[in-house]
Chain A
Amino acid sequence: GNSVTQMEGPVTLSEEAFLTINCTYTATGYPSLFWYVQYPGEGLQLLLKATKADDKGSNKGFEATYRKETTSFHLEKGSVQVSDSAVYFCALSEDSNYQLIWGAGTKLIIKP
């Protein structure tokens, strides 16, 4: 079946460090891929998405590239800020249904 695997957290970085949060997936078809972010005490917000191979999603300085050959959708940011501290969820959606398959989430802690 379909699944999403994220790197375990928490990930702790200093401000201005480079961020990578790994996400790999298994899917039978050609899924769309998403990153959602959840700030403390809030619901989930769509951060970025990509719908086909080699697409790059980007938002708020975050980027992720849909790599079909490695079945990956790693989240990156060149210089993180304290305000980026949150839980990040990777997810996939296939055309054949309307459900999202979720990763377990990765907690990111940015220290000043």
Chain B
Amino acid sequence: EADIYQTPRYLVIGTGKKITLECSQTMGHDKMYWYQQDPGMELHLIHYSYGVNSTEKGDLSSESTVSRIRTEHFPLTLESARPSHTSQYLCASSEYGPSGNTIYFGEGSWLTVV
């Protein structure tokens, strides 16, 4: 089982507020990811990291930013939330081994911007 934790699980905030979604993993994985997903729909990669001080933008353009100061921590920040940011945000990490690249997910953070 993977140990990857996201907080908060659910958040309702007003337009224009700054928010940070936290993500931590205890597995020592170098690679971490943020996906955006509307309920039951496709996953869209918005950010990823290959390790400390590495951050890259994903396939879907996002107004959020990320940082990777420690291996275990990969927070996502929205400086000024808007209703269009309402979605589920999934954090993940991966190991690369003999079985290929296996990604493990947190339980997700549901964000509603009103």
Q: Show the binding face of A for B, using Cβ within 8 Å.
A: 31-32, 34, 36, 38, 42-46, 49, 51, 87, 89, 93, 95, 98-100, 102, 104-105, 107
Contact = CB atoms under 8 A, between A and B. Distances in A.
Contact of A43 (B31, B102, B105): B105
A67 B43 CA distance: 25
A45 B103 CA distance: 9
A87 B37 CA distance: 12
The B interface is mostly helix, strand or loop, or mixed, namely strand
Contacts, number: 57
The A interface is mostly helix, strand or loop, or mixed, namely strand
Interface stretch (B61-69, B70-78, B79-87, B93-101): B93-101
A52 to B, nearest CB: 9
A87 B90 CA distance: 15
Interface residues of B, number: 24
A43 B40 contact: no
Contacts of B94: 98
B105 A44 contact: yes
Given A89-B43, A105-B41, A98 B101 contact: yes
A32 B101 contact: yes
A43 B99 contact: no
B99 A98 contact: no
A36 B101 CA distance: 13
Contacts of A31: 100
